[in-house]
Structure 1
């Protein structure tokens, strides 16, 4: 069960990263659950850092 839960959180992080790389706003987060939302936002923040590093 832990593996399945971790996979969901990893997927939320990856989706947040993809949203950030494409320039979407953090308000576009599709998750309502706190843990998934925080992982999505973590991915989004990482993407923002990477976008600045590339530019």
Structure 2
């Protein structure tokens, strides 16, 4: 059971990162659950930081 939860959180973070790299707004987060939303936003923030370094 814990492995499935971890995989969901990892997937949410990866999707947030992809959204950030694509330039989407953080308001576009598709998750409503707090845990998944926080992981998605964490990935989004990581992407924004990486984009700033590359620019």
Structure 2: 5+ residue stretches without partners? none
- Separation in structure 1 between the aligned mates of residue 28 and residue 15 of structure 2, nearest angstrom: 11
- The list of structure 1 runs, each at least 4 consecutive aligned residues, that deviate by more than 6 angstroms after superposition, is none
Instruction: Identify the residue that residue 36 of structure 1 maps to in structure 2.
Output: 36
Instruction: Identify the residue that residue 26 of structure 1 maps to in structure 2.
Output: 26
Q: How many residues align?
A: 55
Structure 1: 5+ residue stretches without partners? none
TM-score by length of 2: 0.99
TM-score by length of 1: 0.99
What is the Cα-based RMSD across aligned positions, in Å? Answer: 0.2
